[in-house]
Amino acid sequence: MGGHLKTAKNLLDEKKSGQLIYVDPGSTIYDAVLKMDEKKIGAMLVKENDKIVGIYTERDLLKNSADPNFDIRSSKISEKMSTELIKVEADVTIYKMMDIFLGRRIRHLIVEKNGEFLGVLSQGDVVRANLNERTNEINELKELVSFEYYSNWHWDKKK
């Protein structure tokens, strides 16, 4: 059936998000959250010396907000970011990414090619691509079944 399965690189190309959105480790969480809201994104990358060193997500903000000692305006993102970055290679398929999202219970994947950062994909990006892929497969199957049914159907005039 159909073409090849979409990869992380394909999805990044389709997103065409343009520039990479990040803050440096010295930024406050308040600044990062303002930028997340402005750009309508659910995770902020933290970049230091041209290297992605962490990620801060909406989930992190929710968790931090429950801490009575947390001050969004003075807390540095470097103190609260996650440094365990879940990465995939650019050629990983959308189905494999879905497995990672479900298995690891995360919402963002960092995409790399030979150790070089390419971008970030959210769970929503991958779910959308999976649904599109499944819809295309179903439509192809319908066409195939329909074509075979009608091409093998004969009106026998002798009966």
Q: What is the pLDDT of residues 34-54, one digit of tens each?
A: 999 999 889 999 999 989 999
The per-residue pLDDT for 145 is 74
Q: Tell me: domain 8-151, CATH 3.50.30.40, correct?
A: no
pLDDT digits (tens, 9 = 90+) for 99-146: 999 999 888 999 999 988 888 998 988 988 888 888 877 887 887 776
The strand order across the sheet containing 22-23 reads 22-23, 43-48, 51-57
Query: What are the CA-CA distances from residue 29 to residues 23, 85, 122 (Å)?
Result: 10, 18, 20
Q: What is the pTM of this model?
A: 0.74
Kindly tell me if the per-residue pLDDT of 77 is higher than 70.
yes
Supply the pLDDT for residue 150. 63
Residues above pLDDT 70, as percent of the chain: 87
Q: For residues 155 and 159, what is the distance between their CA atoms, to the nearest angstrom?
A: 9
The residue type of 57 is T
